[in-house]
């Protein structure tokens, strides 16, 4: 990766902010909209739009090289396998990892479940001798946060139920920041796993990974990072963050659906027993026993999502072409514009409105006197697409005394005009419903 540009005085230059209006032309769905059919797309935290380069990469593979990978001896299969593994290297490099440290999954949910169920297999006595590091005993503790997406909560609930472990959580402050004093008190000698989000999909705050990892390391706990909301928006170096495992989803980072990545430190993956078993993840098989391949293939049983992996690699190349520091700078500008604008609108309560923290361009809020679903329908009638509901984070919403919120989330193709149109529409919600 190239060094950051510097000014004439040797100080790192500010990243060039991308022209979102120009970038929109690369996204067919956005570029096809007209004044008669407006679309202010502020639901990128759920699913990002795809540039033409990603669509072309998948189609080109299907037209020229579609075949089973790691199986056929013919030229077409060899070409498909090379493209598939090149994609692994590209995506792994995007998060600072080696290719062998990236396991293809169908998404972040599948990656977290893979690790949770594999740990359950270790607890049941499966795996190599070094798998004993993952064994959970009655009274051992799994720690999550109050701000988890359900995908990084329910698998650990299930693992605790199967093993007799105790599930504990780190609370968040009223302003949305993780309570680090509470974290230091909760993470203790019985803690075996600490799972937490890099960025909450409701609060948008970038959490202090280094502080949580340090607490986990002090007690020898395994760490799982949910990087779904950071991978599309921040320059990531997962090995440097020090986590044992991390997951991300392709469809949130300009890529296809049904593809994601599980990053694992080499020793963490090597000692993890398999979860799904079958073809393509074995070395030898008898009618009574089997021996398994090393990672990452050990965790990739069955037919692989080849075109999706190639599409995700194209998405990564697109993001790298814009530059992740530039992406983050642009989106931080949008985030401030959204948040400052919402503060000016009467009857709006934002979740996690902490000051002095790093953020991505995401804000969730409630409208006084108007249910989130009604607010979302009104915004949709104005051409503004947002997410409404609890965003798969029901416990966090209950923490803030609500059942649902409206969430607006931007991306590199979001413009200032998009944000201004959104704010203008939000200002009209309460008057429309007779609340002013």
Of 392, 394, 402, 427, which one is the catalytic site residue? 392
Which residues 6+ apart lie within 8 Å of 140 measured at CB? 163, 164, 165, 166, 190, 191, 192
Cβ-Cβ contacts under 8 Å for 384 (sequence gap 6 or more): 40, 42, 421, 422, 425
Q: Which residues contact 296 (CB under 8 A, 6 or more apart)?
A: 88, 100, 101, 102, 103, 104, 269
Backbone φ and ψ of 141, nearest 5°: -120, 140
CA-CA-CA-CA dihedral for 330, 317, 392, 178, to nearest 10: -60
Is the CA virtual torsion 121, 126, 130, 136 positive or negative? Answer: positive
What's the CA gap between 402 and 87, in Å, rounded? Answer: 42
| Known active-site residue 392 | yes
Among 162, 118, 155, CA closest to 140:
162
**Pair 309, 89: CB distance under 8 Å:** no
Query: Three-class SS of residue 149?
Result: coil
Record the tokens describing residue 119, joined without a space. 């740990």
Which secondary-structure segment (H or E) carries 103? Answer: strand 102-105
- Cα separation, 283 vs 166, whole angstroms: 36
Which tokens in the block code for residue 287? Answer: 């009618």
What is the C-alpha separation between 46 and 26, in angstroms, rounded?
Answer: 20
Report the catalytic residues: 392
């Amino acid at each position: 990766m190239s060094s950051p540009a510097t000014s004439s005085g040797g100080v790192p230059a500010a990243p060039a902010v991308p022209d979102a209006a120009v970038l929109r032309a690369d996204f067919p769905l956005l570029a096809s909209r007209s004044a008669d059919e407006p679309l202010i797309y502020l639901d990128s935290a759920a699913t990002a739009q795809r540039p033409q380069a990603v669509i072309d990469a998948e189609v080109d593979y299907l037209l020229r090289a579609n075949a089973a990978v790691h199986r056929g001896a013919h030229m077409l299969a060899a070409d498909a396998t090379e493209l598939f593994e090149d994609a692994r290297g590209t995506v792994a490099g995007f998060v600072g990892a080696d290719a062998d440290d990236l396991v293809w999954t169908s998404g972040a949910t599948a990656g977290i479940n893979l690790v949770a169920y594999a740990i359950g297999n270790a607890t049941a006595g499966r795996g190599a001798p070094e798998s004993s590091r993952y064994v959970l005993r009655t009274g051992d503790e799994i720690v999550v946060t109050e701000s988890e997406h359900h995908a990084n909560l329910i698998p650990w609930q299930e693992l605790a139920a199967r093993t007799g472990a105790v599930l504990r959580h780190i609370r968040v402050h009223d302003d949305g920041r993780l309570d680090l004093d509470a974290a230091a008190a909760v993470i203790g000698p019985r803690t075996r796993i600490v799972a937490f989000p890099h960025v909450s999909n409701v609060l948008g705050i970038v959490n202090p990974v280094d502080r949580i990892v340090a607490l986990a390391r002090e007690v020898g706990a395994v760490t799982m990072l949910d990087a779904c909301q950071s991978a599309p928006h921040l320059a990531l170096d997962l090995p440097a963050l020090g986590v044992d495992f991390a997951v991300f989803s392709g469809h949130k980072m300009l890529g296809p659906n049904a593809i994601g990545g599980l990053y694992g430190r080499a020793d963490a993956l090597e000692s993890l027993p398999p979860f799904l078993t079958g073809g393509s993840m074995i070395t030898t098989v008898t009618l009574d026993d089997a021996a398994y391949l090393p990672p990452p293939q050990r965790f990739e049983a069955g037919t692989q999502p080849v075109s999706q992996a190639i599409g995700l690699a194209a998405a990564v190349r697109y993001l790298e072409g814009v530059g992740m520091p530039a992406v983050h700078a642009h989106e931080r500008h949008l985030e401030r514009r959204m948040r400052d604008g919402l503060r000016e609108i009467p009857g709006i309560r934002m979740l996690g409105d902490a000051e002095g923290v790093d953020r991505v361009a995401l804000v969730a809020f409630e409208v006084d006197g108007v249910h989130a679903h009604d607010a979302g329908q009104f915004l949709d009638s104005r051409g503004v697409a947002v997410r409404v509901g609890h965003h798969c984070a029901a416990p966090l919403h209950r923490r803030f005394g609500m059942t649902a919120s409206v969430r607006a989330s931007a991306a590199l193709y979001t413009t200032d005009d998009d944000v201004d149109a959104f704010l203008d529409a939000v200002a009209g919600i309460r008057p429309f419903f007779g609340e002013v």
